[in-house]
Structure 1
Amino acid sequence: MSVLLLTRSAATHETVVALCAAAGVATDVCADPSLSLGSWGDADLVLVGADLAEEAVALAPPRRAGVHVVGPSPGDAAFRHAVALGAASVVSLPEATSWLADALADVGERASPGRVVGVVGGSGGSGATTLACALAQWHASRGPTLLVDADPLGPGVDRLLGLEGRGGVRWEGLAETSGRLGARALREGVPRDGALGVLTWTGLRRRLDVPTARRMLDAAVRGHDLVVIDLARQGGAASVELVDRCDDLLVVTPATVPGLAATARLVADLGRAGRAGLVVRPGGLSDADAARVTGLPVVATLGEQRGLAASVDRGLGPLTGRGPLARTVRDLLAAA
């Protein structure tokens, strides 16, 4: 059972059951509040009809989250009963149908937000997109994972994973919608390969705005265990929004003088001391040099992976075996 509905009102019953059916959510309708106590604590969402709210209060059910009083034009009594039940809100139907539809869209989803890991290149061609793809591939065998392509000038993470031909919603489609985005709708709507979903771009003209980025990430963390974001080095306000929402930020840099100089400038703009770390690729300088120049700790050293280019060209993605790349992403996700 997902939704428990207490009502004898035909109008409330018709509205709520139709919305639940549209959201693919199971509904248990009960016309006698005394028979609902056994299900009260098990339902993901409890909707108490305003017509039965007084009877429900008299039963003194245990306080819990996810309780709402619903009904057509609820009066002052409905609000008093909502307070007595510990309800989160009083919902007027059908006026608030869109709000209830949004709430139903996330029924049965995870209670706590998933982890967000951002990956950004300290300099051009550092391999940040490759690392982001590898992180997502590795974790997808363990739980629902979303790889977000937030770099308008990047190659497209779907191409690195061989998913460019898969159907599904892209950034452009999200930008054309408004309102709250459901976690299930996003998870099931993007191009997927098993537990791995990819949000990327359709055409060559790419632009990401802050409201769309915010709506996407809110839904992404509700519907996935891990969200990996391939960040742009210079992405404007939307990129700043995404960086600020990352739990962990990995900055990929070559251990060269030009690479570290560019990375140091990027790090100064990020302002993420304490939650960011360096992933260093081989070069003429040491890990200690990289840490000293950038001010960030080195969390991993990424060795060369034989056959990487061929694997990507074949549409298999960068992570195909147990080489140094696999060990690096495993350790990064275990430690962060």
Structure 2
Amino acid sequence: MDADDHDPSRPPVLVLTRDAGLREHLLRLAAAAGSAVAAPAEPGAALRGWAGAGLVLVGTDAAPELVSLSPARRAAVHLVTWPPVPDDAYRDALALGAEDVLDLPRCDAWVGDLVADAAEPPGGADPPTGHGAAGAPGRAGVGAADGPGVVVGVVGGSGGAGVTTLVAALGQVGSGRGRTLLVDLDPHGPGLDRVVGLDDRPGVGWDDLDRSAGRLGARALREAVPRQGDLGVLTWRDGARTDVPPPGAVGAVLDAARRGHRLVVVDLARQVATGGDVLARLDRLLVVARPGLAPAASAVRLVDALSGRAAPLLVVRGDPVAAGRLERATGVPLLLSMSDQRGLAESVDLGLGPVRHRRGALGRAAAEVLALLAVRGPSGLVA
């Protein structure tokens, strides 16, 4: 087993400390998060669960002895302590490959989020509930395997390309296969919650989160946003300012969304996509374009702005011949050409979302996009 693999048969949280008070404090935090904990008394015993735990919390009192045992490097290791932080704590953290040193109780909320995330299956991978508007799971695709969720960004090659419609369709189809979150980063768009029929659902919006910075809990995010079944959406709520959220808030949301969902689809305004801050957190980037001289010229300018920072894939709303022309004009590999769907506006107005029937044009296209992305390798972005 690799050091970063989580063994679901073992408790997701490993706690190592000889400080009885610190151990009890951590156990209470874990109980509040609904997480099982293994708390061996000796560092040697801790090594048996070291690789399989989803999260490791090491008291600074036990860290020096653990360092002497040279455990394998792994992710999700944190040192914990009462204040004041011991002088040698950061040296031990570096030797263990720990991410940070957390002093309690000041960092209780942070540790609680870490524990809650560790208690969940990777990528929020529950058996599909079928509550997504697209219905049955269908073919395997992006996010269908256990592991961290996949984050797909979608941007328009030109105005009126239908980005929000495709994002919503991907969300509806993806939610039939597992937890899916739609993230709206187009402040001048129609609002993803309206397009998928979740505008009457309670939940937080960007105006509630854009002041946050740092780590955000996956479960906290998933439970806070407007949601129906396995489909959630984060956008601007009615009456809120529609400014692009600061990069720190966007980064925290996308990181938490990846941990708590199988699929995350981001509706990108062109200025957001070309700004560069969000690109580092995307696994795939789709450029949606329409046939025509002016849309093609606009798409070429967008691709030029992304040059060297992203390797997008092209989705064309039009016939295959027009799609081939756009592929040659932009130099972007064509992922799919798709036809327009009749009755789209009526379906959205009825609160049903764009995918009214799985066998409609959009339902088939969204399913094919997700399936094709799954076989195109680990990333649609340059390293």
TM (norm. structure 1) is: 0.84
Q: What residue is the counterpart of 1:287 in the other structure?
A: 323
Q: Contact conserved, 2:57 with 2:78, CA < 8 A, in 1? A: yes
- The structural deviation recorded for 1:159 is 0.6
Q: Contact conserved, 1:122 with 1:252, CA < 8 A, in 2? A: yes
Check 1:49–1:302 CA distance in 2 against 1; reply closer, same or farther (3 A cut).
same
- The structural deviation recorded for 1:80 is 8.0
Within 2, Cα distance between the matches of 1:256 and 1:21? 59
The yes-or-no answer on 1:158 pairing with 2:193 is: yes
Within 2, Cα distance between the matches of 1:227 and 1:54? 40
Q: Could you tell me which amino acid in structure 1 is paired with residue 242 of structure 2?
A: R
| Counterpart pick for 1:184 among 207, 213, 219 | 219
Q: What residue is the counterpart of 1:228 in the other structure?
A: 265
Describe how 1:104-119 pairs up with structure 2 within 5 A: 104-109=115-120, 110=122, 112-119=147-154
| Counterpart pick for 1:123 among 132, 147, 158 | 158
- The structural deviation recorded for 1:144 is 1.7
The SS at the match of 1:203 is coil
Q: Contact conserved, 1:256 with 1:283, CA < 8 A, in 2? A: no
Q: Which shows bigger deviation, 154-163 or 8-17?
A: 8-17
- The structural deviation recorded for 1:250 is 1.6
Within 1, Cα distance between the matches of 2:271 and 2:81? 49
The SS at the match of 1:5 is strand
| Counterpart pick for 1:100 among 83, 106, 111 | 111
Q: Could you tell me which amino acid in structure 2 is paired with residue 226 of structure 1?
A: L
Q: Could you tell me which amino acid in structure 2 is paired with residue 193 of structure 1?
A: Q
Q: Could you tell me which amino acid in structure 2 is paired with residue 118 of structure 1?
A: G
Q: Could you tell me which amino acid in structure 2 is paired with residue 253 of structure 1?
A: A
Within 2, Cα distance between the matches of 1:86 and 1:214? 23
Within 1, Cα distance between the matches of 2:32 and 2:22? 16
Within 2, Cα distance between the matches of 1:265 and 1:86? 43
Q: Which shows bigger deviation, 69-78 or 135-144?
A: 69-78
Check 1:274–1:180 CA distance in 2 against 1; reply closer, same or farther (3 A cut).
closer
Check 1:6–1:313 CA distance in 2 against 1; reply closer, same or farther (3 A cut).
same
- The structural deviation recorded for 1:3 is 2.2
Within 2, Cα distance between the matches of 1:215 and 1:84? 27
Q: What residue is the counterpart of 2:36 in the other structure?
A: 26
- The structural deviation recorded for 1:295 is 2.4
Q: Could you tell me which amino acid in structure 2 is paired with residue 9 of structure 1?
A: D
The yes-or-no answer on 1:247 pairing with 2:283 is: yes
The SS at the match of 2:118 is coil
Q: Contact conserved, 2:113 with 2:217, CA < 8 A, in 1? A: yes
* Deviation readout 1:68-87 (Å, 9 max, x if unpaired): 44333564677787788776
- The structural deviation recorded for 1:90 is 5.1
Q: Contact conserved, 1:136 with 1:146, CA < 8 A, in 2? A: yes
Q: What residue is the counterpart of 2:236 in the other structure?
A: 201
Q: Contact conserved, 1:63 with 1:86, CA < 8 A, in 2? A: no
Check 1:76–1:316 CA distance in 2 against 1; reply closer, same or farther (3 A cut).
same
* Deviation readout 1:140-196 (Å, 9 max, x if unpaired): 111221111111010011111110011112111111333311122112221112111
State the structure with more CA Rg: 1
Q: Contact conserved, 2:13 with 2:119, CA < 8 A, in 1? A: no
Q: What residue is the counterpart of 1:71 in the other structure?
A: 81
Unaligned runs of 5+ in 1: none
Q: Contact conserved, 1:278 with 1:300, CA < 8 A, in 2? A: yes
Check 1:38–1:305 CA distance in 2 against 1; reply closer, same or farther (3 A cut).
same
Within 2, Cα distance between the matches of 1:135 and 1:288? 23
- The structural deviation recorded for 1:57 is 7.5
- The structural deviation recorded for 1:131 is 0.7
Q: What residue is the counterpart of 1:146 in the other structure?
A: 181
Q: Contact conserved, 1:277 with 1:297, CA < 8 A, in 2? A: yes
Check 1:330–1:15 CA distance in 2 against 1; reply closer, same or farther (3 A cut).
same
Q: Contact conserved, 1:255 with 1:284, CA < 8 A, in 2? A: no
Q: Report the RMSD for the aligned CA atoms in angstroms.
A: 3.3
The yes-or-no answer on 1:218 pairing with 2:255 is: yes
- The structural deviation recorded for 1:36 is 5.9
Q: What residue is the counterpart of 1:327 in the other structure?
A: 364
The yes-or-no answer on 1:300 pairing with 2:336 is: yes
Check 1:126–1:95 CA distance in 2 against 1; reply closer, same or farther (3 A cut).
closer
The SS at the match of 2:153 is strand
Q: Could you tell me which amino acid in structure 1 is paired with residue 318 of structure 2?
A: P
Within 1, Cα distance between the matches of 2:309 and 2:58? 47
Q: Could you tell me which amino acid in structure 1 is paired with residue 21 of structure 2?
A: A
Q: Could you tell me which amino acid in structure 2 is paired with residue 172 of structure 1?
A: D
| Counterpart pick for 1:135 among 170, 174, 180 | 170
Q: Could you tell me which amino acid in structure 1 is paired with residue 14 of structure 2?
A: L
Q: Contact conserved, 2:165 with 2:354, CA < 8 A, in 1? A: yes
